[in-house]
Structure 1
Amino acid sequence: MILYRYINRQLFMTTVVVTFVLVMVLVSGRFIKYLAEAAVGDIAADALFMIMAFRMPEFLQMILPLSLYIAVLLVLGRMYVDNEMVVLKACGISEGSLMRAMALPVLVTTAVIALFSLYVTPKGDAEVARLFEEQKGRSVLELLTPGRFHVRGSDDGYRATYAESLNRKDEALEGVFLSEFRLAASEEETTELVTVWAQRGKVTEAYGMSYLELVDGYQYQGRPGDADFRKVHFERALIRIGREQGTVRAPKTRSWDTTELMASPSNEARAELQWRLSLIGIVPVMALAAIPLARVNPRQGRFGKLIPAVLIYMFYMGLLLVMRSAISDAPADEVPPYLSMIWIHVLAMLLVLGLYLVPAWWARRRYTRGMSA
């Protein structure tokens, strides 16, 4: 049908544009955050784009429902403003026909989000967690940018590292400077400052640990504020710069496969599973809600109800997020029946039903009053 193709084409073009804008906004903010971490050396620059690529399915599964929802509001709102909807209703096109016209884009969007939510996004989150674990296990030397100071802190002190240049042929740093400030763990111990300078430095692995092998340098050790510093010349020295290998943190439930969530009795797994299913169900619910919310008169303009409609969507998503946290934080084996996202979807469906029935009831009531008068 020509009408169906017309509406589908308009929805597709608008959804793509809205998705592109929202993705750029979201990705830009997250990219700046990761870029700041890469600038201070928390993550390597070569892993930055891999992390963003693996996070993209998660961004899309959150953005696509909102993009389709806004697209329906904009397309139908424009048709109301241009009086196209008046002509269609005069020709016998009802809201049921509009639902059938939008069935294809809604089903396609639902299928894409189901694929992302149930399969692709957990795989991507697992890869992101693996990349971050690798970055934590990488040595200071691997994350060090020649010509810039790199500072890292922990509970027992701070370490500043600097290298003048990088010899890529020998895979070694030249003109290495390290300054480690060791905090006193108790009153009996003293705070010390250890400073090392060496001609060359290279990473070596031994006994499951990462070491920086320094060649031809000096070590200065003492307590800040005292003039009694010890100076030691060395030809070769090993400084531990990495942690023990093989200590990988267990993945979060967001990285679990859907089958693992279904088999797990934990509240975190139950909350994550309901959240993934909710992302799928929110698409048809909000697409149905967008049809009555798009009703505007020419004086209002196509954006007349856009802000209230978006607020309704954000309130819907906010309730789902609150319920997700409530299910995760509930005591084990004591989750009451009302802690379930299904009740939020039922409330949303009742609201959508009211958007269809209340205006029709109000119109009939005004018509009855007019006839009786």
Structure 2
Amino acid sequence: MILYRYINRQLFVTTVVVTFVLVMVLVSGRFIKYLAEAAVGDIAADALFLIMAFRLPEFLQMILPLSLYIGVLLVLGRMYVDNEMVVLKAGGVSEWALMRAMALPVLMTAALIALFSLYVTPKGDAEVAQLFEEQRGRSVLELLAPGRFHVRGSDGGYRATYAESLNRDEGALERVFLSEFRMAPEGDGATELLTVWARQGRLVEQLGMTYLELTGGYQYQGRPGDADFRTVYFDRALVRVGREQGPMRPPKTRSWTTSELLASDANEARAELQWRLSLIVIVPLMALAAIPLARVSPRQGRFGKLIPAILIYMFYMGLLLVMRSAISDVEGDLPLYLHSIWIHLLAALLVVALYLVPAWSAKRRYGRGMRT
């Protein structure tokens, strides 16, 4: 049908544009966060885009329901403002026909989100968790760019490292400077400073630990303000710069596969499973709610009800997030009232009210007019 193709084409274009804008906003904010972590050496710069690629399905599964919802509001709102909807209703096109017209894009969006939330996103989260575990075990000097100071704090102290250049032929850092400033225990105002300069340094692995092997250098150790700094010349010295490689942390519930969530009796697993299913249920419910919410008069404009409609969506999502957190925090048996199904039923009742209340009001006004 020509009407179906017309509405679907408008809805597709609008949804894609809204999705692109929202993805750019969300990805930019998250990328800046990861970029800040890379700047202080928490993660390697070459892992940034890989992390963002694995996180993209998670962003899309959150954005697509909202994008489709806004797309329906904008498309139908424009049709009301341009009086196209008046012509369609005069020709016998009802809101049920609009539902059938938008059934295909709604079902396709729900299927795509189901693919993301039930399969793709958990895989991506598992990969991101593994990447962060690998970055956690990296040496400070592995993240150090030659010619730049690198400062990092840990275990009550700070360590600054600097290498003038990198000898790629020998795989060694040239003219290495390392300064470690350790905070004193509580109750003692003194601090200790350890400064090392070496002609050359290279990373070595011994017994699961990462060391910096320094050759031809000096070590200065003492407390700032004292005159009894100890100076030591060394031909070869090992400085520990890495952490002991322990076992990987257990994956978070969000990284579990859907089959693992179904097999688990933990409340965290139940909360995560309900959240993944809720992302799918949101799509048809909010698409149905958008049809009556898009009714505007030409004087209101196509954006007349956009803000109230978005507030309804945010309230719906907020309730689901609160329920997810509440289910995860429960210890023992899960009470019957703690289930996302009640929020979806409340949303379904709201959708029914959006259709029935205006029809009931119009019928009541019509009855009053007939009596007068």
Which bin holds the TM-score, normalised by the shorter protein? over 0.9
> Which residue does the alignment assign to 1:343?
342
User: 1:298 corresponds to which residue?
Assistant: 298
Does the residue aligned with 1:55 lie in a helix, a strand or coil? helix
Deviations 1:82-123 (A, max 9, x none): 111111111111111100000000000000000000000001
SS in 1 for 2:110: helix
Give the structure 1 partner of residue 24 of structure 2: 24
Shift of 1:304: 0.5
Offset at 1:188? 8.2
SS, match of residue 303 in structure 1: coil
Alignment of 1:112-127 (within 5 A): 112-127=112-127
Deviations 1:167-217 (A, max 9, x none): 222222111111112233466896321110111111111100111111111
Partner of 1:130: 130
C-alpha separation between the residues in 2 aligned to 1:329 and 1:202? 48
Correspondence for 1:370: 369
Distance 2:187 2:297 in 1: 76
SS at match of 1:35: helix
Which residue of structure 1 aligns with residue 167 of structure 2? 167
Which structure 2 residues correspond to residues 257-268 of structure 1 after superposition, within 5 A? 257-268=257-268
Shift of 1:147: 1.7
Question: Over residues 349-373 of structure 1, what are the superposed CA-to-partner deviations in whole Å (9 max), with x where a residue is unaligned?
Answer: 0000000000000000000001111
| 1:329 Cα deviation after fit | 0.9
Instruction: Indicate the residue corresponding to 1:353 in structure 2.
Output: 352
Q: Deviations over 1:43-82 (max 9, x none)?
A: 1110000010000000000000000000000000011111
Report SS of the residue matched to 2:163: strand
TM superposition shift of 1:279 = 0.4
SS across alignment from 2:259: helix
Question: How far, CA to CA, are the matches of 1:253 and 1:314 in structure 2?
Answer: 24
* Cα distance in 1 for residues equivalent to 2:258 and 2:167: 47
Q: Give the match for residue 100 of structure 2.
A: 100
Question: Hey, what's the Cα distance between the residues in 1 that align with 2:344 and 2:186?
Answer: 56
SS in 1 for 2:285: helix
Equivalent residue letter for 2:340: M
Q: For structure 1, which segment, 29-38 or 53-62, has the greater mean C-alpha deviation from structure 2 after superposition?
A: 29-38
After superposition, residues 267-282 of structure 1 pair within 5 angstroms as: 267-282=267-282
Q: How many angstroms apart in 2 are the aligned matches of 1:323 and 1:234?
A: 61
Q: CA separation in 2, counterparts of 1:34 and 1:318?
A: 26
Mapped to 2, the partners of 1:102 and 1:40 lie a distance apart of 48
Partner of 1:327: 327
**Unpaired runs of 5+ in structure 2?**
none
What one-letter code is carried by the residue in structure 2 that aligns with 1:168? R
Bigger drift between 194-203 and 353-362 goes to 194-203
Shift, 1:291, TM fit: 0.3
Moved more, 289-298 or 182-191: 182-191
Alignment-mate amino acid for residue 267 of structure 2 = N
1:219-245 Cα shifts (integer Å, max 9, x gaps): 001122211011001111111111111
Following the alignment from structure 1 to structure 2, what is the Cα–Cα distance between the partners of residues 272 and 79?
A: 39
| AA matched with 1:146 | P
TM-score (norm 2): 0.98
Aligned-partner Cα distance in 2 for 1:117–1:161: 43
Amino acid in the other structure paired with 2:51: I
Give runs of aligned pairs for residues 27-66 of structure 1, distance below 5 A: 27-66=27-66
Distance 1:185 1:207 in 2: 29
Higher mean Cα deviation, 167-176 or 84-93? 167-176
Partners of 1:20 and 1:3 in 2: how far apart?
26
Bigger shift: 312-321 or 239-248? 239-248
Structure 1 alignment gaps of length 5 or more? none
Taking only the aligned residue pairs, the percentage that are identical comes to 81
Match of 2:316 in 1: 316
- 1:327-346 residue CA offsets vs partner (Å, 9 max, x unmatched): 1111222x211111110000
Other-structure match for 1:91: 91
Whole-Å separation in 1 of the counterparts to 2:317 and 2:106: 18
* Paired residues, number: 372
- After alignment, is 40-49 or 187-196 more displaced? 187-196
Mapped partners of 1:154, 1:36: distance in 2: 17
